[in-house]
Amino acid sequence: MLERLGYLLLVIALIAWIYLLAVGLIQAFPEGIIGFVAIAGLGLLFFKVVRDRLRNKEDDYYDKNVKK
């Protein structure tokens, strides 16, 4: 219960931080476009890593079958 509450608070803080970052980048137009491009690039790389990890059957096999 407390762990979920902690994650929820972190997600709310992350959303607020991203919102404020976007507002700041919009106010810094046109230089703010560089920030948007950098954030978009990092976001795409993050989602690629997550997708690759979720699709990797070899990692799943070792997580389930190899003793630690």
Q: Name the packing angle between helices 32-55 and 2-27 (round to 10°).
A: 150
Taking the alpha carbons at both ends of the chain, their separation in whole angstroms is 28
- Please tell me the pTM assigned to this model: 0.60
Give the pLDDT confidence score for residue 68 in this predicted structure: 63
Which residue is listed with tokens 């046109």?
30
- Average confidence (pLDDT) over 32-47: 92
- Average confidence (pLDDT) over 51-57: 87
pLDDT, tens only, 5-29: 999 999 999 999 989 998 998 898 8
HEC string of 2-31 equals HHHHHHHHHHHHHHHHHHHHHHHHHHCCCC
pLDDT beyond 90 at 46? yes
